[in-house]
Amino acid sequence: MQQTQTYKLNLVEGEDPFSPLPLNENAEKLEAAISAARADAAAGDAALDQRVTVLEAKLMVVGSYTGDLTRNRQFLFDRTPSLVLVMQESGNNDWMIAGTRQFKENMNRDVALGFIENGFQIGLEPNEKGKNYVYVAMFN
């Protein structure tokens, strides 16, 4: 009787006497390998779940919009961001930044980027009609 090279499963040959033992050994080896693979997959799933939980706790949202000159245009989420970056896609790579929630009280409503409850708001400046903008909102 020979065995496979990698998994050492029994290969029954024509001249071997018939016996269920080699087949049972194969079944036991396969059962053990499948069980080990499932345990590894479960451990990997648990680790992935933990990483997703951490990432959800430190959420970042990336989005885009087309300017329409709407005064006090709002972008809403399930909580208030702690940092917002806005940039015109085809502009000169200047980012408009709002870095603290307290900035909301000081913002000029026509030309500004600031925080509102569960989101952020832009004034007229980062909202030029027909221009495309990208934003990144980060949360604590």
Q: What is the mean pLDDT of each run of 10 residues along the chain (140 residues)?
A: 86 83 85 85 81 73 90 89 85 64 50 82 84 88
Q: What is the DSSP string of 13-58?
A: -TTSPP-HHHHHHHHHHHHHHHHHHHHHHHHHHHHHHHHHHHHHHT
**How long is the chain?**
140
**What letter does residue 79 receive in the DSSP assignment?**
S
Q: What is the spatial distance between Cα 133 and Cα 140, in angstroms, rounded to a whole number?
A: 23
- State the pLDDT at residue 74: 92
- State the pLDDT at residue 106: 46
